[in-house]
């Protein structure tokens, strides 16, 4: 979302919630935390929010509105995985994994743990059963990861990488 779109979102919130007032610093902080979101999805989510909530949204509310709607179902994840298998087969696993990564970070993480070869040799219903179990066991992490901004995920990854490096060299 760019600055003019962000200003429209803020104007929309202000129009419905008279108590919603932000300083310039607060506006800048808000923008930094929502700029990676798609304007259209924020608009739709905000319309739903306004119709169901009495208090103005927080940054977390806005991220939840968008990110939770973007989470894919088990059927969608399995479809992405088997599109890759059908296009690239077992022997072009690098290309298959890259295809999955481009379409879904969640599916990519799952296939990296499960194994691309295992994906190729099992039928979709078998994989879907394991996928649903994995999603249920890891729902908090999946949702939590979806709510973070891209820049925050990058910073966390860098910190984890440095921490892992420190332990490897000592």
Residue by residue, what is the 3-state secondary structure of the chain? CCHHHHHHHHHHHHHHCCCCCCCHHHHHHHHHHHCCCCHHHHHHHHHHHHHHCCCCCCHHHHHHHHHHHHCCCHHHHHHHHHHHHHHHCCCCHHHHHHHHHHHCHHHHHHHHHHCHHHHHHCCHHHHHHHHHHHHHHCHHHHHHHHHCCHHHHHHHHHHHHHHHHHHHHC
Residues 40 and 53 grouped into a single domain: yes
Residues 10 and 31 grouped into a single domain: yes
Please answer whether residues 42 and 1 qualify as being in contact, where contact means their C-beta atoms are separated by less than 8 angstroms.
yes
In a domain, 8, yes or no: yes
Number of domains in the chain: 2
Place of tokens 């979806």: 146
Residues 44 and 79 grouped into a single domain: no
Among 135, 109, 119, 131, CA closest to 84: 119
Q: Of 22, 41, 70, at which residue does a domain stop?
A: 70
Residues 8 and 66 grouped into a single domain: yes
In a domain, 11, yes or no: yes
| Residues contacting 121, CB < 8 A, separation 6+ | 90
**Which tokens in the block code for residue 144?**
């939590």
pLDDT at position 162: 57
Q: Of 70, 86, 110, at which residue does a domain stop?
A: 70
Q: What is the CA radius of gyration of the chain?
A: 20
In a domain, 100, yes or no: yes
pLDDT at position 165: 44
Residues 85 and 62 grouped into a single domain: no
In a domain, 50, yes or no: yes
The answer to whether residue 134 scores a pLDDT higher than 50 is yes
In a domain, 143, yes or no: no
In a domain, 148, yes or no: no
pTM, full prediction: 0.53
In a domain, 159, yes or no: no
Cα separation, 94 vs 124, in Å, equals: 20
pLDDT at position 161: 66
- Residue 35 sits in a domain whose CATH number is 1.10.8.200
Domain encompassing residue 98: 74-137
In a domain, 144, yes or no: no
* Banded model confidence at residue 95, pLDDT cuts 50, 70, 90: very high
pLDDT at position 114: 83
Q: What is the chain's mean pLDDT, rounded? A: 83
């Amino acid at each position: 979302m760019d600055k003019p779109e962000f200003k429209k979102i803020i104007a929309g919130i202000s129009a419905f919630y008279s108590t919603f007032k932000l300083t310039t610093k607060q506006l800048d902080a808000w923008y930094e935390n929502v700029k990676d979101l798609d304007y259209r999805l924020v608009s739709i989510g905000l319309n739903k929010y306004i119709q169901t909530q009495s208090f103005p949204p927080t940054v977390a509310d806005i991220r939840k509105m968008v990110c939770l709607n973007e989470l894919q179902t088990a059927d969608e994840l399995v479809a992405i995985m088997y599109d890759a298998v059908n296009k690239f087969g077992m022997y072009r696993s690098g290309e298959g994994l890259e295809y999955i990564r481009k379409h879904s970070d969640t599916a990519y993480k799952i296939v990296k743990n499960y194994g691309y070869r295992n994906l190729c040799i099992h039928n979709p219903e078998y994989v879907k059963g394991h996928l649903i179990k994995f999603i249920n066991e890891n729902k908090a992490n999946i949702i939590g990861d979806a709510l973070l901004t891209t820049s925050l995920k990058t910073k966390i990854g860098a910190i984890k990488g440095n921490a892992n490096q420190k332990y490897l060299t000592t």
